[in-house]
Each structure stands twice: as C-alpha cells, then as structure tokens.
A and B are shown apart, each in its own frame.
Chain A
Amino acid sequence: MRQRITAFGFYLYLLSDAILFAGLFATFAVLHNSTNGGPTGHDLFSLKNAYIETALLLTSSLTCGMAMLACDGRNRFGALFMLGVTVLLGASFLNLELSEFSHLIADGAGPDRSAFLSSFFTLVSTHGLHVFAGLLWAIYIGVQLLRRGFSPAVMRRFFCFSLFWHVIDVVWIGVFTFVYLVGGRA
C-alpha cells in the first residue's frame, strides 16, 4: 500500500514538473526569433552534438530499465552495474551539455545576449539541473543498495528514480526536437 501511495504521489510530482517545462517551452517558442540582431539558433547549434546527447540519454533510460529488471530478479550485481552505466551515460550527457554552454558563452552568445538566448539557457539548463539531481539520486540509491540490499524502502526509491529518469528523457525529446532540430534550422 505504501508503495502505491508513494508511486502515485511521485507520479503527480512528475506531471507538475511537465507543466513547469511546458511553461519554459512556451517561453522559448515565443522568443525564439527575438535575437536582437545577435546569432540565431541556426548559427549556434550543432545538431550532431544534440543527436549524440539524445543517444546518450536514451541509452541511459534503457540501462535504468534494465537495472529495475535486475532488481526484480534480486540480482544485486546486475542492478548496481546497470545503475553505474546509467550514471556514466548521464554524466557524459551533462559533460557535453556543459561544454556546449561554455563554448556559447565564450563566443559571446551567453544568456545576456538576447531574449532568444535567455530562454534557451533557461530551458536547457533547467533540464540539465534535473539530470544533475538525477545523478546524485542514482549514486545515493547505489550506496543504499550496497549497504541495505533490496529492502522495500530502497526499492521504492529506486522505482521513483526510474520514473524520474524516464520523464527527463521524455522532456529531452522535446528539447532535441523543438530547440535543436526546429530552432537550429530556422
């Protein structure tokens, strides 16, 4: 019962998070042409880079699911291994994103350049912060799995984490499509 209540509450949190992102997406959509004479998405974005980021996050979603399946089989090594791969993939995603940010800022296209770039940085870095929080959470769960094994409390947290991680991936599809693919062309 506790499991069901926690899972439902967490699900509601995830839905409200989706509304937060919808607001940021709407802001970006409204402002994506307000470049104030500065660089446009077409000048700035590397679609290939964004595609690699998508692949990393998608694969980490798969390994996260695999970790859950390993938990079902009470396979502690498998669960920890898959969780570790998930963390590595998420960290390399974050690394790519941060290097993109630092390139943009070094080129004078920081969030202070135009309304378009402000909305871009707000949207993408909010997503990045979610990924970062997810990484910390995953490490915490890994430590708990090591120390306490498959206790109900640990499994509940693991389950919520996997939901969180999959939703971050869904949000990234929106970023990849509407910010990079659509915004990077026009």
Chain B
Amino acid sequence: MTDYVDHRAKVAERPPGIRVSGGHGTWHGYLIGYISAALLTTAAFVLATNEWMTPASVVAAVSVLAVAQMLVHLIFFLHINTAPEQRTNILAFATTMLIILIVVVGSLWIMSHLRHNMMPMEMLIKMQR
C-alpha cells in the first residue's frame, strides 16, 4: 500500500488524489498482475482436474500456486512492497501472517493429534452401555 496523496506537495499545487511517482500502479502493472494471476489459476485448475499426478502432489502443487497467486495480488493489485516508508505496513502484515499461521497450522496439528489419540466411536459407545 502506497500513500495515496503526495503529502510533500502543497495542496494548492497538487489536487488531492494524485499519487506519487507511479508507485500506486499503472495500466502496465495491473495487466501484468492480471495475466500472471490468470495463468496461475488456470494452471492450478488444470492440475486439479487431470490425473497426471498423485493426489498428495496435486495438493502440494496447487497450494504453492495459490500462495504464488496471492503474492501476485498483493504486489500488483495491493501494491505492498518493501519500500522504507512502508515499514509499518510490512510489520502489521507480517504480524497478521504469523497469527494466521498459528491459527491454521495449530488447529490442524491439535485436531489431528486428538483424532489420533481418541478411542474409536464404536468402542466409546460400547463402554457407555
């Protein structure tokens, strides 16, 4: 995310809403993002609908493609980059990613352990009689 208004310019000289130095995207940037996102989605779709790979490797390949496409969106559409004035944005973004990682991986981890260690349902019902 880049600053939308060049705050260094005097308001009288530059109407608000004009962005700085193309940092906020150009036709070119949006088109590159669109075409690469479309290619990544189509690749994932084709891989998932054909029987070329084993199921486990399809899941891995499709996940990698999804992460790549999300990055394309973040860079070309949301304009998140590593410019120094974006330090706070990046920090907030990284914290969020950490929380998401903990929530998703943690849930899957705990629940798979639970499933593994739990008595089968039939046995549980038998014991309660």
Contact = CB atoms under 8 A, between A and B. Distances in A.
Interface string A2-24: 01100110011001101100110
Contacts of A156: 4
Nearest to A71: B17
Interface string A47-65: 1000100110011011001
A30 B41 contact: no
Interface residues of B, number: 51
A54 B48 CA distance: 15
Interface residues of A, number: 52
B38 A170 contact: no
Given A19-B99, A22-B99, A169-B73, A178 B17 contact: no
A172 to B, nearest CB: 10
Interface string B76-104: 01100000000011001100100110011
Interface of B: 1, 3-5, 7, 15-19, 24-27, 30-31, 33-34, 37-38, 41, 44-45, 48-49, 55, 58-59, 62-63, 65-66, 69-70, 73-74, 77-78, 88-89, 92-93, 96, 99-100, 103-104, 106-108, 111
